[in-house]
Structure 1
Amino acid sequence: MQHDPLPDTTCEWSVTGMDCASCATRITGALDRLPGVSAVSVNVMAEKLRLRLDPDQTRRDEVEDVVRALGFGIAAPAARKAAAHGHAHDHDVEPGPWYATAKGRLVILTGLLLAAAWTLGFLLPGQWRDWAFVAACLIGVAPVAQRALAALRLGQPFTIESLMTIAAIGALFIGAAEEAALVVFLFAVGEVLEGVAAGRARQGIRALAELVPKTALLESDGRSQQVPADSLQVGQTVLVRPGDRIPADGVILTGSSGIDESPVTGESVPQPRGPGDEVFAGAINTEAALRVRVSRAAEDNTIARIIRLVEDAEEARAPTERFIDRFSRWYMPLVVGLSVAVILIPPLAFGAAWGDWIYRGLALLLIGCPCALVISVPAAIASAMSSGARRGLLMKGGAVIEATAQIRAVAFDKTGTLTHGRPQVTDVVPLSDLDQTELLRLAAGVESDSSHPIARAILQRAEGLTPARAEDARAQAGRGVSAMVEGRLLHVSSPREASEQGLLADGAGEQIATMESAGKTVVVLSAPDGALGLIALRDEARADAGEAIRQLHAMGLSGTILTGDNQRTAAAIAEALGSDYRAGMLPADKLAAIAGMADQGVMMVGDGINDAPALKQASVGVAMGSGTDVALETADAAILRDRVTDIPAMIRLARAAMRNIRQNVSIALGLKAVFLVTTLLGITGLWIAILADTGATVLVTMNALRLLAYDPTRA
């Protein structure tokens, strides 16, 4: 027994048969009129309908009846999922090839009727020939008219189905039965082609979902057993054999192997991974057996997050898309009004022949469908996002793509972004009676609870030493860490912070300057009465960092390093990379710097918690894939491969997407304008008008699909 949801409960369905944004608009408009229905959200790419429902006013089955009346299939998500695995028989869900769908069957039916009418035309007298075409038209237009009437009852008079029905029936009345039947057939063909194109755009998402294996070898009590991969829990351990796909995001416990991450990140060369390294669900273990501890549940693994990001991209619609959506709302009524004027004014005002101008007005009706225009932007956005996702370039929606295309400056965090984020301790310099070992041991105690790269480097260097017991550790962003270590308050900070507190003795500044001039980062271990010692670290730049800066410059963009490092260290790294820099920056300073660059369109690239405010402030914030979850959630985009050259690649992809959108809009409006004129002049007729509309839709869709093959990583 199925119970209605509680009042104001969020409900969700799978909806099939949606080909473009206009389909979503029709569903949204119809459901918004129902009492007790609010927050209607239709996702064409994910084929999902979500809304808030008060069952005391409208029941679930009433919502489903409205969607079906509009000509779409609808089912509960569970039923749709079961159908995908061949275990459901819900008539609303239409798996299989195009000819198995309702629109495909309509194409076959109208095509057979048209062929039969032409055949009868050769065999029978003229009158019977005309009646054959009338029958072909009426039978073919019947399901279209049914959807048009349903939309009309739901307060939507201006739909392509209504225009199509009026044009076809009107053509019969003026004796153009053959053209009317041909128009119905071409309309059906166009709808199928739109569906096929939309299906291709969704294939990339479905392929991502198939990357994660269905089963996993779960280790428990010293034995391994095969279990469903989606049942794995955080903390469990799985065995991954050579050649197997990794079933979950996790951390390697034992074993070392090459990991082919190309299915997830597009990285073509297997990467060496060993104990302590993170691995992605869907990546392929190429060499040796691994034991992996699951770090994320199935619904939150990297693949799932990418799929959600791509599917939910429609929520962040590009400004261009929003403008076209508003434009299309008055475009169709305007053309309908123009069509009525074309039918009435010449005969009434100038005595022109009614038949000629009714014919032209009906042809003009078919030009009023904005399908090609409406689909021009979302098709390009979806293709660009799918292309980027396959290469580890994730952008959260059309608004982000459009903003990225307009970027003029790129600001980089240094540690973990332009560098590997794995600094190594190079110098340990006591400034008191402590020796190097004791200095390292105490510094490691202060940093024992920190995950900062500098803390990890100090802890790694102090391995094997007797741990110093620390309590009440506190971190201040950009200022260092303090803790009570063995009853003594100690602080690890930057030289600038220590100098401002008056903790550095004479002579220490020269030692610090020498190490910083060599590109090293220096931290000071100090007590309330003075500095105890210096620890210098060096973090090597990523191999492709300089090439990324060069590519940005070649694209006409500026690159600037924003770092908390001192002036000398920042200058050494910036000079090696060929970039501008700003040094000694606290998180608030980075935020102010980004705000100051906002007028020219700035992209901020970072990986840490300290970068989150600047990522949010930037026109586009990009998180490195190895960065913290805070950075990934705050950012507008992410790169999974930790390649700095993926930043210019992301900008190239966004620019290509916007070029594609401009081309699509030009095709859609250009064809409309041409056939508007030729129709008014009587040069083109009904079947050319519908062919132009269908052709424009197919052209813009196929043009958008070209982005699926575009490789933005090629400079």
Structure 2
Amino acid sequence: MNEYRVGGLSCGNCARTLEEEIRRLEHGDTATLSFNSGKLTVDERISLVKVKEILKSDRAYIVPSDEHDHKHDHSHDSHDHSHDSHDHSHEHTHGHGNKKMIGMLIVSAVIYVAAILLDGYTASLTVISLYLIASALSGYTTFYKGLKNLLRLRFNIDTLMTIALVGAVSIGDWKEATLVAILFGLNELLEGLGMEKARRSMETLLSVAPKEAVRLENGTETAVPIADLRVGDTVVVKPGQQIPSDGSVLSGRSSVNEAAITGEPLPVEKAEGESVFGGSINNEGVLHVRIAKAYQDSSLAKILHLVEEAQETKTPTELFINKFAKYYTPLIMLVAALVIVVPPLFFGGDWTKWLYQGLAVLIVGCPCALILSSPIAIVSGITRNARNGILVKGGVFLEQLGKLDTVAFDKTGTLTKGEPRVEQTVVYDEALFLTVAGAIEKSSTHPLAKAIMKEVHRAGIEPQDAENVSTSAGRGITATYENETYWLGNEKSIEHLELSEDVRSSIDELKANGLTLVLVADSRRILGMFGIADAIREESRAVIEDLRRSGIRHTIMLTGDHQMTADRVARAVGVDEAYGNLLPEDKVSHVKQLAAKGRVGMVGDGINDAPALASAQLGIAMGKGTDSAIETADIVLMQDHLGKLPSAIRVGKQVNRTIRFNIGVSMGLKLIALLLAIPGWLSLWIAILSDMGATIFVTLVSLTILIEKRK
């Protein structure tokens, strides 16, 4: 598939009609033209000349770029370069077109006012020619397109306007016809500007992509374009520069601003061995970074690619509106014909008056405001979330995010940190307990061992090494320390001991609290025990409360851990229900059951949750973008915590509310205009204003989504 940037798309309805025409060409059946992003995707075998002709019929054009045939499957990289080359020409031509249009409108308005003032003072021919010049200046493109469409019997807004203008002139209503032409020109201009503003905010978001890097080879530094970087290259990143791609710090210390990727404003300290994201900005020190991924595979490139793709997908609401618009215009034309014919024929009405009313009804047939109800709101919502480090992979998912009523969480790594820590200890021999435990666990890499070692170090003990360490699966470790044998592990590891009532009740109490037990014993007695749990994230409880305020009715936790552990975490964070002992396939069936009752979002850290994320209506992954999370989830929280989830849901709800409101306003104003036609009070300029008012209003309301409320 080839991909092109298209400039000069004036309205959503026009884009839809153009797409339909391109699809009728040979090899055109897969073509898509997105009004939201101004992108055209076509089969490479299609005749570009014919495509350009179709676009030209609506004053649209393919924006010239350096890589003309830039292919989509060239991976995300290609579209990042082309971004630049496209952008300037696109903005230049579009800006130029807008300026010209504004100039024309101002001149026509001045001539129009002059004609009104002269009316009655000079010969009517002079006045009429002034009206004609003013109409021609502001409405000639509409008129030209409308006549062409009329010959092809294609009825869109231009055709409707042309019929109305010709009608108004034929009944001698010059003043009205000119006002209509000026208002319509203004309407078209504003409609284009609204979408342009939403697209521009998306493009500033996309412009964070780094352009070049300083590569270090044999001690010499050379500036190279991003595309030339290879895995394993070393780059030098000076203060204030962007890190070109994902990698790890070879040498140097600095703090790095990762806001472009995670949406987190606070800088993150980086030292040798730590990983860094491409697109993040180095604050103070000089860093030498070894590149781990070619730029097009980096987190930032993926984010930009996904955000761009996200504008392309059509939501169910948009598809419905488009379908509706298809039938709406012909229906209104029928109503207009009835308005023209019925009163004069059956009720002795005046033909001129009802012809005029019919023409006004025709203008009400334009579905522009209705078609704009959704795209600007969606692009604004996706952009706003992306600025906060929340990746929404498409308008569909944004719409679903706003409809969620149930959220299911994986426990480990999502509500908890995924790193065990000692919650409780029961000590029977203070002198030996931590010393022996430290000696045995010192060289182990097991997560539980790490938790125990933290506890040992906290007590200020520097343990010696144990000898003859042997592990027995499912039990624990046996080792010798200072010529004495010790056991460390679960309950099975101390089967050689008789347990006192006291010890037994301590074991039961720790287990009832949902803690994992590690016991330490010698050949005669127990020295003590650790109760270990996965540390709960500080923000989990606040997030769950915030989700309730955002309208989530039901929160559930799913985990492979013990049910008691699940209950303990559920109590601590405040979720409604918790299910333990689940295998990955059990999580999937739970999510499916929930989905049958409501709209479910599943939140996981994306590593072992891929199946459950995929089976929920909305998969939400978190954790600095593990590749599998970015691949399987519909929404990715680029931070390593859940803090931004409630605000993402609020943006989703705001977008849905805005779209519903917009549909209501645009249909409401049209209905009022149609009702005015019954007593014969509808005038052409009221009809245009009803459409224009709705268009401007819908655009402005949609753009408010971009405004962040600072807390």
Q: Distance in 2 between matches of 1:516 and 1:276?
A: 39
**Cα distance, 1:606 vs structure 2:** 0.3
Distance verdict in 2 for CA 1:115–1:274, change over 3 Å: same
Where does residue 450 of structure 1 map in the other structure?
none
Where does residue 561 of structure 2 map in the other structure?
565
Match of 1:132 among 116, 130, 154: 130
Instruction: Structure 1 unaligned segments of length 5 or more: list them.
Output: 1-9, 430-434, 448-452, 466-485, 525-533
- Larger deviation, residues 637-646 vs 138-147: 138-147
Secondary structure, aligned partner of 1:420: strand
Q: CA RMSD in A?
A: 3.9
Where does residue 534 of structure 2 map in the other structure?
539
Distance verdict in 2 for CA 1:416–1:251, change over 3 Å: farther
Conserved 8 A contact 1:409-1:558: yes
Residue by residue over 1:373-402, the C-alpha shift from the partner in whole angstroms, topping out at 9 and shown as x without a partner, is: 111012111111111111112222222122
Where does residue 100 of structure 2 map in the other structure?
105
**Corresponding position: 1:21 with 2:9:** no
**Cα distance, 1:645 vs structure 2:** 2.6
Q: Distance in 2 between matches of 1:39 and 1:87?
A: 23
Match of 1:37 among 17, 28, 39: 28
Secondary structure, aligned partner of 1:63: helix
Residue by residue over 1:595-634, the C-alpha shift from the partner in whole angstroms, topping out at 9 and shown as x without a partner, is: 1211122211001332011111112110003253112211
Q: Distance in 2 between matches of 1:275 and 1:615?
A: 34
Where does residue 173 of structure 1 map in the other structure?
170
- Larger deviation, residues 640-649 vs 321-330: 640-649
Distance verdict in 2 for CA 1:456–1:52, change over 3 Å: farther
Where does residue 483 of structure 1 map in the other structure?
none
Secondary structure, aligned partner of 1:39: coil
Instruction: Structure 2 unaligned segments of length 5 or more: list them.
Output: 69-79, 427-435, 456-462, 464-468, 477-488, 520-528
Distance verdict in 2 for CA 1:87–1:690, change over 3 Å: closer
Match of 1:551 among 540, 546, 565: 546
**Cα distance, 1:132 vs structure 2:** 2.0
| Amino acid in the other structure paired with 1:119 | A
Within a 5 Å distance, the mapping from 1:250-649 to structure 2 comes to: 250-423=247-420, 444=445, 520-521=515-516, 538-554=533-549, 555-579=551-575, 580-598=577-595, 599-649=597-647
**Corresponding position: 1:50 with 2:41:** yes
Where does residue 696 of structure 1 map in the other structure?
694
- Larger deviation, residues 159-168 vs 45-54: 45-54
Distance verdict in 2 for CA 1:506–1:517, change over 3 Å: farther
**Cα distance, 1:110 vs structure 2:** 4.4
**Cα distance, 1:315 vs structure 2:** 4.3
Residue by residue over 1:324-382, the C-alpha shift from the partner in whole angstroms, topping out at 9 and shown as x without a partner, is: 22111111111111111111111122221111011111111111111111110121111
Distance verdict in 2 for CA 1:659–1:84, change over 3 Å: closer
Residue by residue over 1:157-177, the C-alpha shift from the partner in whole angstroms, topping out at 9 and shown as x without a partner, is: 121111111111111111111
Residue by residue over 1:140-170, the C-alpha shift from the partner in whole angstroms, topping out at 9 and shown as x without a partner, is: 43322332345457x6712111111111111
| Amino acid in the other structure paired with 1:624 | M
**Cα distance, 1:79 vs structure 2:** 5.8
**Corresponding position: 1:65 with 2:45:** no
| Amino acid in the other structure paired with 1:607 | D
Distance verdict in 2 for CA 1:161–1:375, change over 3 Å: same
Residue by residue over 1:488-533, the C-alpha shift from the partner in whole angstroms, topping out at 9 and shown as x without a partner, is: 996899xxxx99xx99968899798666556655699xxxxxxxxx
| Amino acid in the other structure paired with 1:655 | K
Q: Distance in 1 between matches of 2:702 and 2:295?
A: 32
Distance verdict in 2 for CA 1:19–1:291, change over 3 Å: farther
Match of 1:708 among 699, 703, 706: 706
Distance verdict in 2 for CA 1:44–1:302, change over 3 Å: farther
Distance verdict in 2 for CA 1:355–1:223, change over 3 Å: same
Question: What's the TM-score once normalised by structure 2's chain length?
Answer: 0.82
Residue by residue over 1:163-211, the C-alpha shift from the partner in whole angstroms, topping out at 9 and shown as x without a partner, is: 1111111111111112111211111111111111111101222112222
Distance verdict in 2 for CA 1:675–1:216, change over 3 Å: same
Residue by residue over 1:646-673, the C-alpha shift from the partner in whole angstroms, topping out at 9 and shown as x without a partner, is: 2222211111111111111111111111
Residue by residue over 1:93-140, the C-alpha shift from the partner in whole angstroms, topping out at 9 and shown as x without a partner, is: 561674x21x54244224413423542562732232022212332454
Where does residue 78 of structure 1 map in the other structure?
66
Residue by residue over 1:208-267, the C-alpha shift from the partner in whole angstroms, topping out at 9 and shown as x without a partner, is: 222233232222223332222343233322222233232223333333332222343332
Count of aligned residue pairs for this structure pair: 654
Residue by residue over 1:450-477, the C-alpha shift from the partner in whole angstroms, topping out at 9 and shown as x without a partner, is: xxx789989999xxx9xxxxxxxxxxxx
Q: Distance in 1 between matches of 2:153 and 2:443?
A: 73
Conserved 8 A contact 2:9-2:59: no
Where does residue 234 of structure 2 map in the other structure?
237
Q: Distance in 1 between matches of 2:172 and 2:449?
A: 85
Q: Distance in 1 between matches of 2:123 and 2:553?
A: 73
Secondary structure, aligned partner of 1:576: helix
- Larger deviation, residues 30-39 vs 136-145: 136-145
**Cα distance, 1:64 vs structure 2:** 1.8
Distance verdict in 2 for CA 1:82–1:130, change over 3 Å: farther
| Amino acid in the other structure paired with 2:685 | W
| Amino acid in the other structure paired with 2:110 | A
| Amino acid in the other structure paired with 1:623 | A
Distance verdict in 2 for CA 1:319–1:267, change over 3 Å: same
Residue by residue over 1:406-425, the C-alpha shift from the partner in whole angstroms, topping out at 9 and shown as x without a partner, is: 22221111222112234458
Conserved 8 A contact 2:514-2:566: yes
Match of 1:657 among 655, 658, 664: 655
- Larger deviation, residues 236-245 vs 652-661: 236-245
Q: Distance in 1 between matches of 2:571 and 2:20?
A: 58
Secondary structure, aligned partner of 1:158: coil
**Cα distance, 1:71 vs structure 2:** 1.7
- Larger deviation, residues 25-34 vs 641-650: 641-650
Secondary structure, aligned partner of 1:38: coil
Q: Flag the structure with larger Rg.
A: 2
Q: Distance in 1 between matches of 2:518 and 2:412?
A: 15
Match of 2:110 among 115, 118, 127: 115
Q: Distance in 1 between matches of 2:37 and 2:198?
A: 11
Secondary structure, aligned partner of 1:382: helix
Secondary structure, aligned partner of 2:535: coil
Q: Distance in 2 between matches of 1:173 and 1:523?
A: 95
Where does residue 431 of structure 2 map in the other structure?
none
